A and B are shown apart, each in its own frame.
Chain A
Amino acid sequence: MATVTLKPTKVPELMFEGYSITPDAFAGKTAAQIAELPGHEGKIHMKLGDFFEVSGNAGETAADTDIVIAGDCTRVKYIGARMTAGTVTVNGNADMYVGGWMKGGKIHIKGNMDSFCGIQMEGGELLCDGDAKNHVGCAYRGDWRGMKGGTIRIKGSAGNDIGTFMLGGTIIIEKNAFIHVSTHAEGGTVVIKGDVEGRVGGQMVRGEMYVLGKIKFMMPGYKKVDTVEKEIDGVKATFDHYIGDLGERHPKSKGQVVYANLYLKAAA
C-alpha cells in the first residue's frame, strides 16, 4: 500500500474539476507525475499541482493506492469519480460528484458533500461523516439506470432525490431526508434512520425502503399489508409493511405481482 497525500494550497476561484483525483489515475505515478495530472477550472486546463501540494508516490495499481486529501475540498468536484479500487479520504468537505460512477474501492469524506454523490454508482463504498445535499445515489438526467451496487452511508442528513431510478446497492442516511426517496426505483435498498418530509417511493416499481423515523406525508399509492419484525443496519424493530406504488406498473414474477416494499417503524 502506498499513500499519496494532497495538501490544498489554493482555493479555486471557480470550481476545480478534479476528475483525476482517483487511485486509478494515480496508480504507477510518482508525486511529481501526479501533480501534472489534468483538471479544469472553467475552460482553463489546470493541473492538480496548481491547487495541491502532492507528496508520496502511488502504488503500482489502483488497489495499492490510498489518497489522503489533507484539507478542505469544498470547491473540488469529481473526487473519486469512476474509481475502481483503492481508497480516497478527504479530511474536510467535498463538492459534487464524489464517487460518481464508482465501481470499487472506498471513499471517506470527513466533512459534508454537495449534490450528485454516488451518481450511477456500481460498486464500492462511499462514507460521509457529515451531510449530503441532493441527488445521493441517483441516475444521470434521463437515464433509467441509476445506482446499481455498492453502499453509500451518510452519517448526517440528505436533501431531495435519494436513489432516483435505483436498481441495486444500499443507501443509508443516518439522520433525516427531505423529499423523494427511491422515486422510479426498480431495486436496491434505502434506509432513512431519521424523518422524511414525504414522497417516499413515488412511481417506484421494485425495491426496499426502511424509514426509522416519521414520514410526514405518505404517498397515497402505498397500502399497509402487515406488521413485521425486522433488523436493518443493526436496528431491530417492529415495522409497518406497506406495498406500492399502486399507481405505478408492476412486473410479475412466478405469477405474482411484485411491488416495492416500504417498512416504516411502527409507532411505539
Chain B
Amino acid sequence: MASGEMIVKGGFIIDPTRKIDGDVGDVAIKDGKIVDKVGSSAKVIDAKGKVVMAGAVDVHSHVAGPKVNAGRLMRPEDKFISGFCRSGMAQKNGYRMESGFSIPSVFKTGYDYARMGYTFVMEAAMPPLLAPHTHEEIHDTPIIDEGALPVFANNWFVMDYLRKGEVENTAAYIAWLLKATKGYGVKLVNPGGTAAWAWGLNCLSLNDPVPYFEITPAEIIKGLIEANEFLGLPHSIHLHQNNLGNPGNYPDTIAALKIAEGFKARNKFGRESVMHSTHLQFHSYGGEGWKDFCSKAKEVMDYVNKQKNITIDLGCVTLDETTTMTADGPFEHHLHGLNHLKWTNVDVEMETAAGVVPYIYDKNVTPNAVQWATGLELALYAKDMNRCFITTDHPNAGPFTRYPRVIKWLMSKKAREETIATMKNSDRMIGLTNIHTMDRELTLFEIAQMTRSGPAKCLGLGNVYGGLAPGMNGDVSVFNLNYKDLPKDAEKIETALQRAACFIKGGEVIVKDGEVVSHGHKKTVWVKVAMPENPQVTRDVSQAFTQGTYTVDIRNYPVREYLAPHQSVIDVNVEA
C-alpha cells in the first residue's frame, strides 16, 4: 500500500455503488484508500476525456493451483503458433517473462489482469489437500489480490455429516478447512458426481444417489447452504451444477436454483444472495442431442430474474482454442470422448477430482456457435446487473484476456451481428438461439455493475472492492473511452478495455498506457472463522489422518503462514 496522496482528475466517473453514471469528477486517494479530498500537493493523474471506474473484481477464474498447472504443463503448444511465441502482450521492459495463451503463466496472469484494470481475482476451485500448491502459485502471481475457494461438495466428511443431517458439524468442518487451507468460501463442483467419478461414475441429476454415501446432489447443495448461512460467511455457496455441458440440461439447472428458495442470507458483509451459480452458460441448454442443441437462456434467466437471493456469472464462450479444466472429473472424461484430444485427470483422495482437456470453440461448428450466443443472451436477458457477472470461466469457455471482447459483444448489437455473419452455419445458429432478435446493448454503467459492484458484493467484499466511495481500496482503472462520445466502432471499446490507460491499486500506479510499470503489493484474502471447538469434528478429522485414509501427516496438511504472505484475513465470529 502506498502512502501519500493522489488524485485522478476530471474523468467520467462510473461507480454503481454510489449510482454515479458518467459524471465528470475526481477520485482522491490517500494511504491506499479512497478519501473525500486530498491536498494540493497530491500526485495528479489526468483522466480528462476518459472513463474512470473502480478496479474490477473477477468472481470465478481458474488461475492458480494444481489443475491450472496440469494444463500449463500438458500444453507446450499453447505457448506457440507455428513456432512463434504466442503471448502477444509480452512485456518488453524487463519484467518477468510471460508465457502462454489460454493458460498463462503466473506472471502473465498478474500482468494481463492488471492491464485490464482488475484488482481482485477469485481462484474458483482449490483441492484442499493441494492447497499449498495453490498458495505457492498465488504468491508468485504479481499485483492482483486473490482468494481461493476450497471444494466441498464431494468431500467425504461433508457427505457423511450431511447424510446424517448434521449441519452444525458440517459448518465446524468448513470452518476448520477454511483455516487449514486459507480458503475463502464454499465451492461446490458437480455435487456428488465428482465423488462418484472416483469409481468412474457420475451424478447427472439432482436425485442420483452418490455411490456409498447414500446422499443426493440436492441434499448436498441444501445442506451446504444451511452450513454456509449458519456460519455467516462473506460469500454464499458457489455452485458449479451437475450435468454441465449436456444438451437439455436447463430443467436440472432451474431445479438446482430452486433449492435456494426460502433461504435468506445471514451475514455481516452486506451479501444478499445465498447461492452463486457459476458459468451458467454451460447449464442453459435445450435439445435432446447435438443436432437440436439450443439456447434456453431465456427460460433460465426468467427464473433468475425473479429469484432475488441468487447471483450468477456467465461463462461466455469466446470462440478461441482454449483449455477446459474443472473439478468436474467425469465431464472432462466425457469431453475427451467427444474431441479425442489429450486428457489429464487428477483424483484427490477424500476430497475431489479434476480433469483437463484442450478444446477448440469453432464458430463454424453449430453447437459452439450456440454456446457463444447462450452466454451473451444470459446477460442480455438479465434484469438486475448487480446479480449477473462477466466471466468466461477462464479458461474453460475462453481466456480471461477476452473479457473486453465479451463486453464489446454485450455493448454492441453490431459487433454481435458481425461475428454471426462470419459463422458458416449462421442461419442454423440463429434458429437455435434468440441472439439475433435481441437489440439490447448494455451500458458502461451496467458493465461496471457486472465487473465491479456486483461481484464485490456477492463475495462480501463490497465495502473494500468494486466502488469508489471513501474508505474503499484505492483501486482505480482509467480507460481511453470518451463516455459522452463512445466510439461507433465497437472494436475500439475492446481495445480500450484490453489495456487500461492507467490502473492504480492501493494508491500505486501499476499500469500506465497499457504497460505494467510496477509489481504493486498483492494480497492473499481468506476467511477465518472463530467458533467454539467441536470435539466430534476434531476427532473425525484427526482419525482420517491417523487411521490412514489420507496419505499425508495432519501436521503437514495446513498451509503454513509464509506461503501466503500479505494476508488479508476476514474474521467471522460464530457465537456458541
Q: Which residues of B contact A100 (CB under 8 A)?
A: 83
- Separation of A143 and B82 alpha carbons in the complex (Å): 10
Q: Which of A95-131 contact B (CB under 8 A)?
A: 97, 100-101, 119-120
User: Which residues of chain A are near B560, meaning CB under 8 Å?
Assistant: none
B79 to chain A, nearest CB (A): 9
Contact A144 B341 (CB under 8 A): yes
* B83 and A249 form a contact (CB under 8 A): no
In the complex, whether A52 has a CB less than 8 A from a CB of chain B is no
The reply on A82 being an interface residue by CB < 8 A is yes
Interface size, B (range) = 10 to 19
Q: Is A255 an interface residue (CB 8 A)?
A: no
Q: Name A144's contact: one of B78, B82, B342 (CB within 8 Å).
A: B342
Assess the B82–A120 pair: CB atoms within 8 A: yes
Contact of A249 with B75 in the complex, beta carbons under 8 Å: no
Q: Is B440 among interface residues, defined by CB-CB distance under 8 A?
A: no
Indicate whether A234 reaches chain B with its CB closer than 8 angstroms. Answer: no
Total A-B residue pairs with C-beta atoms closer than 8 Å?
A: 27
| Neighbour of A82 across the interface among B77, B82, B341, CB < 8 A | B82
Please give the distance in Å from B330's CB to the nearest CB on chain A: 19
CA distance A175 to B83 in the complex (A): 29
Measured in the bound complex, the distance between the Cα atoms of B83 and A101 in whole Å is 7
**Is A141's CB within 8 Å of the partner chain B?**
yes
Distance of A256 Cα from B75 Cα, bound (Å): 33
Cβ–Cβ contact B77 & A249, under 8 A: no
Complex Cα spacing A120 to B81, Å:
11
Least distance between B22 CB and chain A CB atoms (Å): 47
Contact, CB under 8 Å: A140 / B340: no
Contact, CB under 8 Å: B75 / A142: yes
Which residues between 127 and 161 of chain A lie within 8 Å of chain B, taking CB atoms? 140-144
Q: What is the CB-to-nearest-CB distance from B338 to chain A, in angstroms, rounded to a whole number?
A: 12
The answer to whether B97 has its CB under 8 Å from any CB of chain A is no
Instruction: Give A41-56 interface residues, CB cut-off 8 Å to B.
Output: none
Question: How far is it, in angstroms, between the C-alpha of A97 and the C-alpha of B84 when the chains are bound?
Answer: 13
Q: How far is the CB of A219 from chain B (nearest CB, A)?
A: 20
Contacts of B78 in A (CB 8 A): 142
Chain B binding site: helix, strand, loop or mixed by DSSP?
loop
Within 8 Å of chain B (Cβ to Cβ): is A171?
no
A204 at the interface (CB under 8 A from B): no
From B74, B82, B83, B340, contact of A142 by CB (8 A): B74
Give the distance in Å from the alpha carbon of A203 to the alpha carbon of B508 in the complex.
55
Q: Are B83 and A141 in contact (CB under 8 A)?
A: no
Complex Cα distance A144/B77, Å? 9
- The verdict on A81 contacting B342 (CB below 8 Å), with A141-B76, A141-B77, A142-B75 known, is no
Judge whether B80 is part of the interface by a CB distance below 8 angstroms. yes
- A101 vs B84: C-alpha distance when bound (angstroms): 10
- Point out the residues of chain B lying under 8 angstroms from A101, CB to CB: 82-83
Provide the residues of chain A in CB contact with B77, threshold 8 Å.
140-143
Check A140 against B80 for contact (C-beta < 8 Å): yes
User: Would you list which residues of chain B between 22 and 78 have a CB under 8 Å from chain A?
Assistant: 74-78
CA A101 to CA B342, docked complex, whole Å: 22
Contact with B along A227-262 (1 / 0, CB 8 A): 000000000000000000000010000000000000
A81: nearest residue on chain B (CB-CB)?
A: B83
CB pair B340–A82 under 8 Å, yes or no, is no
Residue of B nearest to A143 (CB): B77
Which residues of A sit under 8 angstroms from B341, Cβ to Cβ?
144
Complex Cα–Cα for A249 and B80 (A): 28
Beyond A120-B83, A142-B77, A144-B342, 11 additional pairs, beta carbon < 8 A: A82-B83, A97-B83, A100-B83, A101-B83, A120-B82, A140-B76, A140-B77, A141-B76, A142-B75, A142-B342, A144-B341
Across the A-B interface, give the 6 residue pairs with the lowest CB-CB distance, nearest first. A143-B77, A142-B76, A101-B82, A142-B77, A141-B76, A101-B83
A-B pairs with beta carbons under 8 Å apart, 14 shown:
A81-B83, A82-B82, A82-B83, A100-B83, A120-B82, A140-B77, A140-B80, A141-B76, A141-B77, A142-B74, A142-B75, A142-B76, A142-B77, A144-B341
